[in-house]
């Protein structure tokens, strides 16, 4: 379990400023959603709890993982299209 925490914390050192900004924005959006729930009367207390912060962080991480996977799928589809165009272009030349 400690190894996963170390890997997670080490990954922050590899983030560029754009990625850090994106992470901050997603986390802020999740925190605002939690705060809106508090202000909207879903809870009698207006303070964000540790549970709220944990929920916001987990939800932010889930959203980011989904976004990264979608981006990877798009990149792989582009590579596949490029590869297919090269393969079929070379078949046309050979014929």
Q: What is the pLDDT of residues 11-22, one digit of tens each?
A: 777 888 888 888
Instruction: Give the Cβ contact number of residue 61 at 10 Å.
Output: 15
Q: What is the pLDDT of residues 35-71, one digit of tens each?
A: 876 655 555 567 788 888 888 888 888 888 888 899 9
Identify which has the larger pLDDT, 5 or 64.
Answer: 64
The ranges assigned to domains in the chain are: 2-94
Q: What is the pLDDT of residue 20?
A: 85
Identify which has the larger pLDDT, 91 or 65.
Answer: 65
Q: What is the pLDDT of residue 80?
A: 95
For residue 94, CA distances in Å to 19, 81, 82, 90 come to 45, 20, 18, 6
Identify which has the larger pLDDT, 32 or 11.
Answer: 32
Characterize 12-50 residue by residue with b for buried, 16 or more Cβ atoms within 10 angstroms of its Cβ, and e for exposed.
eeeeeeeeeeeeeebbeebbeebeeebeeeeeeeeebee
Q: What is the pLDDT of residue 14?
A: 83
The pair of three-digit structure tokens given for residue 48, joined into one six-digit string: 């964000």
Identify which has the larger pLDDT, 14 or 90.
Answer: 14
The pair of three-digit structure tokens given for residue 69, joined into one six-digit string: 């996977």
């Amino acid at each position: 379990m400690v190894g996963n925490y170390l890997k997670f914390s080490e990954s922050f050192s590899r983030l560029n400023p754009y990625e850090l900004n994106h992470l901050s924005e997603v986390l802020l959006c999740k925190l605002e959603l939690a705060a809106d729930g508090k202000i909207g009367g879903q809870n009698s207390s207006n303070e964000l709890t540790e549970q709220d912060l944990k929920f916001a962080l987990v939800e932010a991480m889930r959203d980011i993982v989904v976004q990264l996977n979608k981006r990877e799928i798009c990149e792989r589809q582009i590579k596949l299209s490029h590869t297919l165009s090269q393969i079929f272009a070379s078949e046309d030349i050979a014929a």
